[in-house]
């Protein structure tokens, strides 16, 4: 299967700071990348869809000004959690898809964010 | 609003026996269903899928069954192996090419040697 990497794997930050998480598609150029969030004992929830070269599409209830997504190249998407608060502590996971219409998403290993 | 549900958080099975993981959904508009397997510290990996026009799909030791009238699907693993121990997520998609996958909360399978 395809390889998707995320960096960092775990980050602890102070409340009010911003954190950037990188997602890289190592095996193929991903026209679309996705960002998910998973709270403890809950399912993965899609936050936003990121298309290379265009603005991200956010799901209902996700603040686009708080969760900045940049997809500057076909192999890299970044998620920046701005002015992080303890309630943003969660497991953030990205996935990539080769082309629209295909069903398989390849997931990264995830990033655990803890905001103190 | 949890549209995909996996009501069993964990399951233990003896090696060589059958593992049956269950998943229920509420949205009748879902037309494609997927199972992902996740090991610790790794992202979910795609395992097997099924379209709503089918009721069964088989791939080696893995078979997925879909009962549309009951809005229920299950993943059968036969025979179960210790390497199958992982968290299994069920996911559903609403329409062809749609971005949004709706995930269940996962079932942790432990295969006992």
Pairwise CA distance, residues B31 & B44, whole Å: 21
For A:15-74, CB contacts with B below 8 A are 32, 34, 41-46, 49, 57, 59
Low-confidence ranges of chain A (pLDDT < 50): none
Instruction: State the SS3 of B31-78.
Output: CEEEEEEECCCCCCEEEEEEECCCCEEEECCEEEEEECCCCEEEEEEC
Output the CA torsion sign for A47, A2, A41, A87.
negative
Q: Is the pLDDT of residue B80 over 70?
A: yes
Q: A105 contacts in B (CB within 8 Å)?
A: 46, 101
pLDDT at B41: 74
Average pLDDT value over all residues in chain B: 92
Pairwise CA distance, residues B62 & B75, whole Å: 7
Q: Is the pLDDT of residue B96 over 70?
A: no
Q: Which residues contact B77 (CB under 8 A, 6 or more apart)?
A: B18, B19, B20, B21, B61, B62, B84, B109
Q: Is the pLDDT of residue B14 over 90?
A: yes
Cα dist. A33→A50, A101, B39, B41, B48 in Å? 5, 13, 21, 20, 21
CB-nearest to A1 from B2, B46, B93 is B46
pLDDT cut 70: percent of chain B above it:
95
Contact A105 B45 (CB under 8 A): no
Contact A107 B44 (CB under 8 A): yes
Contact B99 A46 (CB under 8 A): yes
Alpha helix positions (H), chain A: none
pLDDT at B79: 98
Pairwise CA distance, residues A40 & A112, whole Å: 11
pLDDT at A105: 82
| Contact pairs from chain A to chain B, CB under 8 Å | 54
Q: Which pLDDT tens digit goes with each residue over B27-65?
A: 998 989 999 999 887 788 889 999 999 999 999 999 999
Residue of B nearest to A110 (CA): B43
Residue among A73, A93, A69, A94 at smallest CA distance from A81: A69
Q: B49 contacts in A (CB within 8 Å)?
A: 103
Contact A100 B34 (CB under 8 A): no
Give Dmax over CA atoms of chain B in angstroms.
41
């Amino acid at each position: 299967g395809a390889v998707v990497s995320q960096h960092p794997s775990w980050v602890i930050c102070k409340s009010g700071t911003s954190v950037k998480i990188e997602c890289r598609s190592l095996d193929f150029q991903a026209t679309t990348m996705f960002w998910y969030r998973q709270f403890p004992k809950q399912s993965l929830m899609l936050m936003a869809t990121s298309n290379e070269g265009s603005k991200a599409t956010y799901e209902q209830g996700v603040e686009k000004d708080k969760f900045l997504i940049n997809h500057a190249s076909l192999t890299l998407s970044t998620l920046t959690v701005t002015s992080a608060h303890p309630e943003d502590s969660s497991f953030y996971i990205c996935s990539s898809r080769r082309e629209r219409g295909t069903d398989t998403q390849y997931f990264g290993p995830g990033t655990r964010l803890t905001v103190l | 609003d949890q549209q995909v549900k996996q009501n069993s958080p964990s399951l233990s099975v003896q090696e060589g026996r059958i593992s049956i993981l269950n998943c229920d959904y509420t949205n009748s508009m879902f037309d494609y269903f997927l199972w992902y397997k996740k090991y610790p510290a790794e992202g979910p990996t795609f395992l097997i899928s099924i379209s709503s026009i089918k009721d069964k799909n088989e791939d080696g030791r893995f078979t997925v069954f879909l009962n549309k009238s009951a809005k229920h699907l299950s993943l059968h693993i036969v025979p179960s192996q210790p390497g199958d121990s992982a968290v299994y997520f069920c996911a559903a998609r609403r329409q062809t090419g749609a971005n949004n996958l709706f995930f269940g909360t996962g079932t942790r399978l432990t295969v006992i040697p």
